[in-house]
Structure 1
Amino acid sequence: MTHINTLDPGASPLDYYGFELRRYREEAGLTQKKLGDIVYCTGSLVGQIETARKLPTLPFSERADIALGTGGLLSRLHELVMRSQLPAWFQQVAELESRAIEIGTFQTHMVHGLLQTKEYARAVLGVLDDTDLDDRTEVRLARQRIFEKGEAPVFWMILSEAALHQEIGGPATMRGQLAHLLSFERSPRVNIQVLPFSAGAHAGLQGSFTVFRFPGDPTIVYTEGYGSGHPTANPDSVKDCSLRYDHLQAAALSLKDSAELIRRVMEERYGEHRDADGDPVA
């Protein structure tokens, strides 16, 4: 257990966050309990965050910034803390997501992390490993803050129809996830196309991949394996995946038809079915 008096602010972004939170709290003359009362949490939670034993949430950071007059420091640190909690091999990808002006991804069997709901992400991350599941889920969802930036990237996802039918987390979770995808139906910056089963053999049979484009740097292609990621700027790989992506877009349904298919699957496969008395049944 980390002791507050020996916390090293240089050990990690989480330690630095805890150190700064404690420093500002003490300068304000507040106990952990008093600060907890102000920001709507327990003093114990404040202590756990100060000793780097618990991840801060964004709402906590925003409320603490106001209460302690930090000028927004903790909210700014929050993004760094969340990114530092990602698996080491994935941290570079999160950096690419934050810098890209355009992200194009093809997904074979599940919704991309940038568009996952909390329940869906939790179900995905909980397969074979439910340790620190709440924190790991929050870390994944924190990546989605890139869409809140003033210059948010254009995000384009081509999703295999199989992913709509792969029941992850149960019917309610899938219903919520598909409804979330439909919420982007009129968004000019988040575009979703479905590659239907009727497409047959297609250019993405080798697996999922993502293409990152930047204003002044080379395009990067990212593929993923078990516990490892493979970003590359190799011109041949970029050219090959860019061509594959173009063919996948051509084979996929239009944005409008994709939304209609998502809506149909959500209602027919994951809609609430009721008995003769009108009560929901499984």
Structure 2
Amino acid sequence: MTAQSEPSKDPAIRAFAITLGAFRVKAGLGKKELAEKLGYTPAYTSQVEAAKNVPSPRFAEDLNTLFGTEAFTELQQNIMDARTNGLLPPGFIDYVDQESRASLMYIFEFGVIKGIFQTYDYACEVLRSGRAAEEVEQLASKRMERQKILARDEPPQIVAVFDEGVIRRTVGGREIMRDQIARLVEISKMPNVTMHIVPPGKGAYPGVMGAFTILRFDDGPDMVYTEGYLGGSITGNAANVRGHTVHFDLIRGVAMSADDSLEFLHAAWEGL
């Protein structure tokens, strides 16, 4: 990472820098001595302590080892989380927070496979356009973290409907799609997941207006998240949620059964 001429205003970077300085002084080490003990250049360690450079995960781990603490890896992760959140479209951070709390999810996707069902390689391809490689990796890793809700002790019940074009559209090449469809087959067999595919030939069915997700909670009102080109919007407006619920029922009504959808996925995988 290139050093800045002025200290960063990012609170997470400044917190790391202040903590590093406090630990160094408490240990009775000068800046040059610290660099020698860690095996880094004095310029780099000084830049990090001055909040002019971003500490790497390896640097944080080395500081933990030297000072006998876990604080630096946690502080470094805070920096990465803040940087990743800054890359996310408007409205999406609120959605991710609500998604992690939902007890039931109704998902409809028309363009690409839903993020919580994506493989890492598929996610990278979806996220690649207009972004630097580092940004793509950060966002894809964040997407993989979201998928932990599928394996938690009490996972949400999920009913997902995909337009068949989502499965037919080759994203990133044959091998990436084969792995992605295999992942969908695996997820569709989870006891808390029901998956449907809208088959070819349905024409202008209700789902052509775009993707959305309805979230239900044990301790709060339902919410709906709609996606747009530049971001998304989440709302708990009762009329809005009710309208999307009716819409989802209509979409599900034109989709194949769960068993037929699974056969469709197997056929799509074999055809690649």
Corresponding position of 1:126: 128
Corresponding position of 1:224: 227
Q: Quick one: structure 1 residues 69 and 249, their matched pair in 2 at CA, closer, same or farther if it must change by over 3 Å?
A: farther
Partner of 2:187: helix, strand, or coil?
coil
Which residue, 194, 197, 201 being the options, matches 2:197? 194
Q: Is the CA contact (8 Å cut-off) linking 2:161 and 2:197 kept in structure 1? A: yes
Which residue, 151, 154, 162 being the options, matches 1:151? 154
The whole-number CA distance in structure 1 between the counterparts of 2:239 and 2:270 is: 42
Task: Give the C-alpha shift of residue 216 in structure 1.
Answer: 2.1
Corresponding position of 1:104: 106
Is 2:212 the counterpart of 1:203? no
Which residue, 15, 23, 27 being the options, matches 2:13? 15
The TM-score with structure 2 as length reference comes to 0.74
Task: Give the C-alpha shift of residue 3 in structure 1.
Answer: 6.4
Corresponding position of 2:256: 253
Structure 2 residue identity aligned to 1:255: A
Corresponding position of 1:40: none
Q: Which has the higher contact order (CA 8 A, sep 6+)?
A: 2
The whole-number CA distance in structure 2 between the counterparts of 1:235 and 1:180 is: 34
The whole-number CA distance in structure 2 between the counterparts of 1:156 and 1:24 is: 51
Segments of 5+ residues of structure 1 without an aligned counterpart are 37-43, 271-282
The TM-score with structure 1 as length reference comes to 0.72
Partner of 1:181: helix, strand, or coil?
helix
The whole-number CA distance in structure 1 between the counterparts of 2:96 and 2:252 is: 24
Q: Is the CA contact (8 Å cut-off) linking 1:220 and 1:238 kept in structure 2? A: yes
Structure 1 residue identity aligned to 2:96: A
Task: Give the C-alpha shift of residue 2 in structure 1.
Answer: 5.5
Identical positions, percent: 25
Task: Give the C-alpha shift of residue 103 in structure 1.
Answer: 1.7
Task: Give the C-alpha shift of residue 77 in structure 1.
Answer: 4.9
The whole-number CA distance in structure 2 between the counterparts of 1:102 and 1:32 is: 51
1:120-162 CA distance string (max 9 Å, x none): 1111111244453222322333322333444332232211111
Segments of 5+ residues of structure 2 without an aligned counterpart are none
In the alignment of these two chains, the number of paired residues is 257
Task: Give the C-alpha shift of residue 32 in structure 1.
Answer: 7.6
Partner of 1:247: helix, strand, or coil?
helix
The whole-number CA distance in structure 2 between the counterparts of 1:195 and 1:166 is: 14
Q: Quick one: structure 1 residues 83 and 93, their matched pair in 2 at CA, closer, same or farther if it must change by over 3 Å?
A: same
Task: Give the C-alpha shift of residue 174 in structure 1.
Answer: 0.7
